[in-house]
Structure 1
């Protein structure tokens, strides 16, 4: 009985959970764009890849590989 109730409850909330996932993905994409713009501004202001990587929590090389072409 408990399993059936759980399945019915899950079927009922599945659409809402899916929408929450879409909203979270949108927020991550927007945050990624903001980060890209901020890194570009930092680089234009003379920040080093070492400093940018440190601020982003990644290595200098990873920062360079991620943002050098943007």
Structure 2
């Protein structure tokens, strides 16, 4: 079984993405799949921060880059 995430990337050179992952995938796994360093971003679900080790739930996920990439 899988879930779909609509990912909005803010302050990033990457474009927005739609990602399908297995149920019980963590947000840390999502960042690994996208090749994003977890120490440089803030994850928001419904405008509230979510823990990196939390289980991803379907729907919109905002990834806000909070560190310079250059």
TM-score by length of 2: 0.30
Comparing both chains, which one has the higher relative contact order based on Cα–Cα distances under 8 Å and sequence gaps of 6 or more?
2
Structure number with larger C-alpha Rg: 1
Higher strand fraction (1 or 2): 2
Higher helix fraction (1 or 2): 1
TM-score by length of 1: 0.30
